[in-house]
Chain A
């Protein structure tokens, strides 16, 4: 029972972060047909801004807020500087641009800050645990689950109730026709990047607080996981991004918890084998469109 509670806590905690990251990717994919691999560097940026905020004496939650907002702003600037000039280019060009931005930011972090990891000094109250039955759950995990769930609920309300939420969902179905609704394409794309950046910011805070440090290359693994999550859910599907986040998390944590020690080095290989098996049953992802036109 305790093992199950511990498993579920870990799945929800990691799954929420994956879901937020994958939603960020899916939102941009919806409007631009682009998987933005620089999304991971937005997370890294969040980590550094959070670190700067804490080191300059800001209260923890103020530093978190500044970091998330900075990440949203950075995403808008990224779109304006890097993606807008090539907006009408092929999917391959957009993809290469996202890799270029990713590399550029990594080099800037390495040379402008440090190639080595920096510890994030989280407040002492976050380092303690609470007990559920005989299970100990760290407060970082409690925070992660709470913020993750609140963010997903807020997003659900946003997508269901707001004009821009409908516009992004509509763009996922048919971007061209969204233009016929009189919605300015560049404004919708900027808005999508802002939302994507805010999601990367929230996920970034959860990620760095859980691992306790930030380094220039830390964005690669989570963005790769988020990409896989988005593919499992169905590229461009917002519901799929959330479902995929929890599916990948459930697989990873199950293997982490119950895989025999001798097989543990093959954990990632087994994870992705399971992913491939899922995709063989759902070639366009669980919630994906049957005919995917975008690249």
Chain B
């Protein structure tokens, strides 16, 4: 389809003899929010890491009509894919400003980008000169999001945005994601909080042991007994 942004075909990732992802086929359309669900070890994070070229994989990755299979991470980022890694992984010794500036392309018009971001995330303005490692978990998640947005991506991959955050902070993070969605940014969200992400996403893929077990519209999956059985312990 012409509005398809990202396609993975037969994506497989192995760590030695352990097969983490066993041939997954994903599709993300322009402006779409896709959830990637699954228990620990299902292969969700490995899938994201493969898409951005952080790990070797088999299969192919196409983005905006271009084959990115095996491309180095810097090219993938320059093409318009950005990632917020699990645990946020800010550079703790660097200030918030330095973290953000590293996320921007070297020749970007930094001031305009900065103003745009600080409008979306005003809390960061007060923290610009603070070391990132001294921020609270919620603030760090905002910086991690802002840093990933500095490259002006068309697709944002977010690994566990609610990990380690209090429920009220998670609400705030999802509110930011909702605002970003309005800008037309496509997202793939890996999340263990199944109910929350299914209420937020357009579509979802559910992985178990490295394979896609279920896929469909998020609201359909939300109502599906199978999802409840597999991920919510039959609730």
Contacts and interface: CB of A to CB of B under 8 A. Distances in A.
B212 interface: no
Contacts of A184: 72, 74
A174 interface: yes
Interface residues of A, number: 18
Contact of A182 (B78, B85, B94): B78
B105 A182 contact: yes
Interface residues of B, number: 26
Contact of A169 (B73, B77, B91, B147): B91
Interface in A144-188: 163, 166-167, 169-170, 172-174, 176-185
A185 B78 CA distance: 14
Contacts of A178: 102
B216 interface: no
A177 B74 contact: no
B93 interface: yes
B89 interface: yes
Interface string B90-120: 0111100011011101100000000000000
B77 A180 contact: yes
B151 A182 contact: yes
Given A174-B91, A176-B54, A166 B98 contact: yes
Contacts of A169: 91, 93-94, 98
B82 A180 contact: yes
B98 A181 contact: no
Contacts of A185: 72-74
Contacts of B77: 180-182
A204 B196 CA distance: 60
B204 interface: no
A163 B100 CA distance: 11
A159 to B, nearest CB: 10
Given A173-B93, A177-B85, A166 B101 contact: yes
Contacts, number: 61
Given A167-B102, A170-B102, A180 B94 contact: no
A185 B94 CA distance: 19
B36 interface: no
B20 interface: no
A165 to B, nearest CB: 9
Nearest to A88: B56
Nearest to B78: A182
Interface string B68-94: 000011100110001101000101111
A177 B93 CA distance: 14
B189 interface: no
Given A163-B101, A166-B98, A182-B74, A177 B91 contact: yes
B91 A180 contact: no
Nearest to B144: A177
Contacts of A183: 74, 102
A173 B92 contact: yes
B52 interface: yes
Contacts of B103: 181-182
Query: Can you list the 7 inter-chain pairs with the closest CB atoms, starting with the nearest?
Result: A182-B77, A170-B91, A179-B73, A173-B91, A184-B74, A181-B102, A166-B98
20 contacts: A163-B101, A169-B91, A169-B93, A169-B94, A169-B98, A170-B91, A173-B93, A174-B89, A178-B102, A179-B53, A179-B73, A179-B74, A180-B83, A180-B85, A180-B148, A181-B77, A181-B151, A182-B103, A185-B72, A185-B74
Given A166-B102, A179-B73, A180-B148, 4 more contacts: A173-B92, A181-B151, A184-B72, A184-B74
